[in-house]
Amino acid sequence: MVKKVYLVENLDCANCAAKVEAALGALPEVQEAVLTYATMQLRITAEDPDALLPKLQEVAQKVEPGVEFYPRDGAHSHGGEQEHHHDCCGHDHEHHHDHDHHHDHDHEHDHEDEHHHDHDHDHGHEHGGEEAEDLKPLLVGAALFAVGLVLEHFGLIWLTLGVCLAAYVLLGKEVVVTAVKNLARGRMLDENFLMALASIGAFFTGSFTEAVGVMLFYRVGEYFEDRAVARSRSQIMEAVDLRPEVVQLVDGEAVREIPAGEAKIGDVVLVRPGDRIPLDGIVVSGSSRIDTAPITGEPVPVSVAEGDSVVSGCVNTTGQLTVRVEKSLSESMVTRILDSVENAAASKPKIDRFITRFARVYTPIVVGAAVLTAIIPSLITGDWGKWVYTALTFLVMSCPCALVLSVPLAFFAGIGAGSKRGILFKGGQSMEAMSKIKAVVMDKTGTITKGDFTVQKIVGGDELLEICANCEQQSTHPIAESIVAAAKARNMELRRPEELEELAGRGIRAKLDGKEVLCGNERLLTEKGVSFPKSREYGTKVLVAVDGAYQGYLLIADTIKTGAENAVRALRDSGIETVMLTGDAEESAKAVAGAVGIREVHAGLLPQQKLERLQSIRETKGAAMFVGDGINDAPVLAGADVGAAMGSGADAAIEAADVVFMTSDVAAVPQALRISRQTARIAWQNVVFALAVKLAVMILGLCGYASMWLAVIADSGVALLCVLNSIRILYKK
């Protein structure tokens, strides 16, 4: 099966998106169809999605005429300017497309730097003009509505009716026309039909101004709702879409501009001050400071020089760099981030799936309640006018758009908020699961520690370091490399030993300046009969003896990441228990755990033993998240309730994880948990708020106190408030 993502156009309603998704998912050729209104993207899993595209288009058109799908790779071309008339949810939007550039961005790029690279890709979407056109009927309709209120006040009924009819035609024509079209297609419980029925019914009950007012506020609510959704979508996607369109290729002595997608591994590209690093690579020449905030969220620039790795999306702030491309555009960091966010938005959490199922039964139930309210009390009391009016208020609030839109938007906003901080959630499911985590289980090396061995202590003076470095300079062992690096940092001139013998598992025997030198562990010195003092310290000791006499030792240890202790404390303060699982020796594991505040440690574990231990932790403490970075962590990452990988870790670990921390910082763990909890809380707030308001208005209606004014607030007003509530996580610090 193949997964393919397509762009969606001319879809203006989350509830309509759910209907299209259901219709596509019902096709026998489709294994899975996910239409995400928040990103306006369709993900199809099938044998050959591209071959299936015409059929997908046909099915979607039957459900929502005007909806169109295009490949995300930029094959979207109308061949000039076209108009799309879409009648979803009462909107008849004319989308003018003038695609001079065939890119798959749905937002404006206007990049202008000192090198005069002016990319102005508005794709012909003249949103400013479109907004103005949408506002015209609303403003005129509002003016006529105000006139109608004045005329009604003075008792001029026929004039009121005339003005209100004119206003209604202006405001509600599209809704009524769409309702008729949908009714002809057998879609009776459509929002347009229900809204048209309710407002026209208000005319027949003599509530002229109320009928117009309901339609006006409905249209105004949808106008602001559409703008809020579009703005949040644009804000999130612009934050993560850092893909370059062109690169400056160094070709001999010349520099020429080529499309970023054409750059190959091994190419050398020029990155001037102020430019964004286009592709992942290694600095060939130059030195500079780069702003990594767009990728990691870290505000402090990082110094880079020849030989250092750089990732795409970061901004070169000072010096000029030439960078050798190590990954193509499709494999570079900026593409990984964008794909992660887009795929994450398509992975729906349980609450979203529940709301989708709930929406299918909610509207029929409310409509049924409206019918019963109109008939039964009227037969008993004989007051048909009152109870028909009450039933009409029920119809106004029968559409579940507030729920169907706001819940997935909340998770999409949470995913966007995480991506801006270097936290990549791989789906709403991952975020939802993380919100329920009770215990965080962490690996040691590469997770809590940097994985960089350094000389922490020298007992015997710098001369001892020089001796040891002379003996270890031919070794590729990480400990040997750390000793040599420490010597070079002190500008020591190293010499080759006259003789050199590597003793597996013990160390090195060498002859230096005619003297026999032993550099190794306690076992080596014991075998050679050299006596030495014993002590217990965190790290690896390299003992040194010259001509059989003990001289001292070097202490080599991994460095604990800055902020690891604060991160563990933050987890503990939020009620999360922390545990360390590691394959390292118990002594070093306990030393690191004690330094950062982790109280439970399990050391010397094989990958399978880590997984078994995780299962027991889950049984005793509840839902568990594992944080690791190595290939050996892949099984336990996949087996945890939530697997989290450090961005600097192995590809296998990143692939198996549900969340990736691009900063490779332990501080990202409590941050991710906080974002996921806030997101889940906001989603449930929307559900409870929307249902509570609608239920309250229904009860008031049954008691004779509700009006259509209140009903439209319970529908469009609540939807707008839920949308605004969903996106507020983007603005949290």
Structure tokens at 414: 């949470």
Q: Residue with structure tokens 């309210």?
A: 373
Per the CB < 8 A criterion, the answer to whether 694 and 651 are in contact is no
Q: How many CB atoms lie within 10 A of CB 393?
A: 27
Q: Give the separation between CA 416 and CA 434, rounded to whole angstroms.
A: 16
Strands 93-98 and 549-560: unpaired
What is the number of alpha carbons within 13 Å of residue 679 lying toward its C-beta? Answer: 33
Q: Is 116 exposed, middle or buried (0-12, 13-18, 19+ CB in 10 A)?
A: exposed
Q: Which residues contact 311 (CB under 8 A, 6 or more apart)?
A: 277, 280, 292, 295, 332, 333
Q: Give the separation between CA 456 and CA 559, rounded to whole angstroms.
A: 9
Per the CB < 8 A criterion, the answer to whether 500 and 518 are in contact is no
Q: Residue with structure tokens 């692939």?
A: 655
Q: Which of 443, 584, 658, 715 is catalytic?
A: 443
Strands 577-581 and 600-602: parallel
Q: What residue type is assigned to position 188 of the chain?
A: M
Closest CA to 291 of 414, 417, 422: 422
3-state secondary structure of 105: coil
Phi, psi of 503 (to 5 degrees): -105, 105
Angle at 307 between CA 301 and CA 313, to 5 degrees: 45
Q: Where are the beta strands (DSSP E) in 477-563?
A: 499-503, 507-512, 515-520, 540-546, 549-560
Closest CA to 472 of 496, 498, 505, 506: 496
Q: Give the separation between CA 379 and CA 367, rounded to whole angstroms.
A: 19
Structure tokens at 412: 């999409």
Q: Which residues contact 281 (CB under 8 A, 6 or more apart)?
A: 269, 309, 310, 323, 324, 325, 326, 327
Q: Helix-strand-coil percent breakdown of the chain, rounded to 5?
A: 50, 20, 30
Angle at 36 between CA 32 and CA 39, to 5 degrees: 135
Q: Give the separation between CA 375 and CA 382, rounded to whole angstroms.
A: 10
**Is residue 443 among the annotated active site residues?**
yes
Q: Is 357 exposed, middle or buried (0-12, 13-18, 19+ CB in 10 A)?
A: exposed
Q: Give the separation between CA 159 and CA 165, rounded to whole angstroms.
A: 10
Closest CA to 530 of 556, 507, 501: 507
Query: Active-site residues: which are they?
Result: 443
